[in-house]
Structure 1
């Protein structure tokens, strides 16, 4: 199932400046999409209060787009496989801009969820296509840096977009925050229209490629399992970070500041992981799991806001900031021959885990205590720690050491 175009433009023949401007436009697009998906994390309390729904029900604003993105990641890629990738990306980012503006004016929670459904379609499709777009925008020797920048949009949205949106919402209301992200999506649309070159379809992904890659490569399966454990564990707790901080006596203005601290720590974690994954990928994943476990345990044991709570959030931000780049690098490293199929699986599980984490966290908050989500989250992070590739590496080193001693 292949569609070949006549003489598609080569990245090597384009101006490097234009190529990097196109990369920046795609980065802005993916930043606006991922910020849109995660924005409600910092606004659950005001949205729930204004629209008269509980915190657990308000958590559906994170669950719905996550579930939809998990399905749309491969489906949109397959369904649009014969269309110009520039046109597809522009339509998807425009859809997310319009959906956020609709949320800003919604007078009923059902309307908000309908808009969140559209955001899920955009996030899944855009991320899957944008993940490999750098190869067609810049020369081959610049592709790794361009890809890192594009995925930096995912990471920066996760660790900086949410606290910034929360800050805007606290200052001027949650509707203004949604409207601001909608305007950001429309700005990304304009930039992509002006800066992206035509990107005719070259090869389509078949749905049958996905199970084939999953069955044939045990390391891909391990990466998908780690994504499920780490991301689900994170979002079970992080979706309800605002109620957790409120229970510890942290006010709205201080919550916004702490989320901003979390975001800044996440950016540091992102760059630190980016410097390590090329040489110590497996150890980096193990370290991330340990840091997330320690941070959630520390916050769970803290009954009041203060230095310990701030330290726990900084540690948490450092750990989660390293997650997307580390897991994405693992997937690309273990399956270099079918990167599009493997990336689609990864994007699906990443977004499904966001949805499941928010949903399970909501059920826990409704039936147990808010602090319980921290214990469940750290349990899943701990499970990732003991099932990852590093125990296998340790065992292999011990066996090799015994063999050397036996000789």
Structure 2
């Protein structure tokens, strides 16, 4: 990703081409950020609409909640293969098609007369979401010069961070005002507009020449990629184990009411966006340092929750710290992966997206099991321990490894 990584400057024409077209492509960066916002908002949208969807489809909230797991698991399973299946097409055309599929998936969700149709729509969303996210994670070097890759990557990932903050509240508001189906129609229209805008804004972006099933294997054989994937799995699992059950935790530790918990989540989300923009440019220069700091920050924050989040003020401070540290995890771990495998950037990004989404599901499942058997305190302490393992791994390993290790 940055120009200092080994092998990154091998294609001589790249930097001059980027230097010539850099001004024209910032709009494309912003548009790809908008696409990541839409897919993540669509993934999370049912969270705030479980009750009305369940009432209309005559299903329990728990059953409707499975729609989130379906999307995440399908995205995890398909993300590594979407870039390969579409390798004959340039990335501009592929993204446009994927955004139309996102639009169709949300329209089908809005029209769903039963949970079976809803589940089918969420499978469709999972495939398109995994594809959009996998491609978006690797496109910054195709759109801007090497000096601006860090900022471009940060902007692209800001779509994910902002969706995490605004997606659920916006959907809940629209659902309350006009009905849950209108929330999904809104997403469908937005995805369609983004796809149409891509026709005018995105430049032609050829796929990586060597992209194939073999490139996935080659990327995974890279020790730096394997370490980056392991760090991602640990910290994302730790985060979602605790975050999925943050409401009962705040109720238990600090005795907060639902309205206060909503404020806590808003504080967390706002600081998450800030953390994304702080970590992005810094990670371009030293992903190892940033990942160590962020994983240590998440571990310490989670460990402090059961003993320190006992008042409104301390809970707010810890939520702010949690958001600040975790907000930079996506962009910094992706930067680690990109620096580890500049030759197999798309393949490595696809593997990272798969692991990230699988870890969300694993974290939520593990957190639920621990919570039901041992309570909220144990959830946070075990999550802190898992985040500590991520910190230790990042401390003792590097994204860029010795050349002889890459020739296996």
Smaller-chain TM-score range?
0.7 to 0.9
Maintained 8 Å contact 2:211/2:344: no
**Which of the residues 241, 244, 250 maps onto 1:236?**
241
Name the structure 1 match of 2:325.
Answer: 319
Q: Count how many residue pairs are aligned between Structure 1 and Structure 2.
A: 384
1:161, CA displacement in angstroms?
Answer: 3.4
Name the structure 2 match of 1:122.
Answer: 128
Maintained 8 Å contact 1:42/1:241: no
Q: Map 1:75-154 to 2 at 5 A.
A: 75-139=81-145, 142-154=148-160
1:249, CA displacement in angstroms?
Answer: 5.4
**Which of the residues 358, 361, 366 maps onto 2:364?**
358
* Gap change, CA 1:69 and 1:378, over 3 Å in 2: same
Mapped to 1, the partners of 2:372 and 2:39 lie a distance apart of 29
Name the structure 1 match of 2:229.
Answer: 224
1:252, CA displacement in angstroms?
Answer: 4.8
Maintained 8 Å contact 2:158/2:277: no
Name the structure 2 match of 1:35.
Answer: 41
TM-score (normalised: structure 1): 0.81
**Which of the residues 298, 303, 309 maps onto 1:297?**
303
1:32, CA displacement in angstroms?
Answer: 0.9
Mapped to 1, the partners of 2:162 and 2:137 lie a distance apart of 15
RMSD: 3.4
Q: Write out per-residue CA displacement over residues 67-93 of structure 1, whole angstroms, 9 at most, x where no aligned residue.
A: 111221121111111123222211211
Mapped to 2, the partners of 1:305 and 1:181 lie a distance apart of 38
* Gap change, CA 1:301 and 1:163, over 3 Å in 2: farther
Name the structure 2 match of 1:268.
Answer: 274
Name the structure 1 match of 2:354.
Answer: 348
1:218, CA displacement in angstroms?
Answer: 1.9
Mapped to 2, the partners of 1:249 and 1:241 lie a distance apart of 12
* Gap change, CA 1:76 and 1:385, over 3 Å in 2: same
1:299, CA displacement in angstroms?
Answer: 3.4
Q: Write out per-residue CA displacement over residues 298-339 of structure 1, whole angstroms, 9 at most, x where no aligned residue.
A: 334478672222222111111110101110111112222322
Q: Which runs of 5+ in 2 are unaligned?
A: 1-15, 399-408
1:148, CA displacement in angstroms?
Answer: 3.2
SS in 1 for 2:343: coil
Mapped to 2, the partners of 1:127 and 1:379 lie a distance apart of 29
Q: Write out per-residue CA displacement over residues 222-265 of structure 1, whole angstroms, 9 at most, x where no aligned residue.
A: 11111111111112222344455566655554444332221111
Name the structure 1 match of 2:199.
Answer: 193
Mapped to 2, the partners of 1:170 and 1:257 lie a distance apart of 19
Q: Which runs of 5+ in 1 are unaligned?
A: 1-9, 394-407
* Gap change, CA 1:278 and 1:29, over 3 Å in 2: closer
Maintained 8 Å contact 1:163/1:256: no
SS in 2 for 1:222: helix
TM-score (normalised: structure 2): 0.80
